[in-house]
Amino acid sequence: MLIGQLESGPMRFGQLRDAVAGISEKMLTQTLRGLERDGFVTRRSDAEISPQVEYRLTPLGHSVLEPLAAVRSWAQHHINDIERSRLAFEKD
């Protein structure tokens, strides 16, 4: 989700928090750190403008956008099958 949010350009922490419904600050921080550690995202702080931090995709992050779009498309195409399977599972 976060990688998709950053597709259109750099975002600040608060913007990302607002864009991803229901995410806690702790989970957002952990996820961003993991994405940074794995090389998908860079974190840049601007010391001149208070402590302002912005996150952006790296070339590696941009390279995963197309495969993620394919997975998203597959999931949208098969959502009814998935929901039927979940309902059947819950009945058992």
4-33 residue pLDDT tens: 999 999 999 999 999 999 999 999 999 999
Cα 53 to Cα 9: distance, rounded to the nearest angstrom:
14
Bridge-partner residues for 53, per DSSP?
Answer: 45
Mean pLDDT in residue range 69-77: 95
- Note the pLDDT of residue 7: 95
CATH class of 2-91: mainly alpha
- Note the pLDDT of residue 49: 64
Mean pLDDT in residue range 53-82: 96
**Mean pLDDT, rounded, of the chain:** 94
- Could you tell me the residue ranges of all domains in the chain? 2-91
Q: Tell me the pLDDT band of 52, cut-offs 50, 70 and 90.
A: confident
HSE on the CB side for 78, CA within 13 Å?
Answer: 9
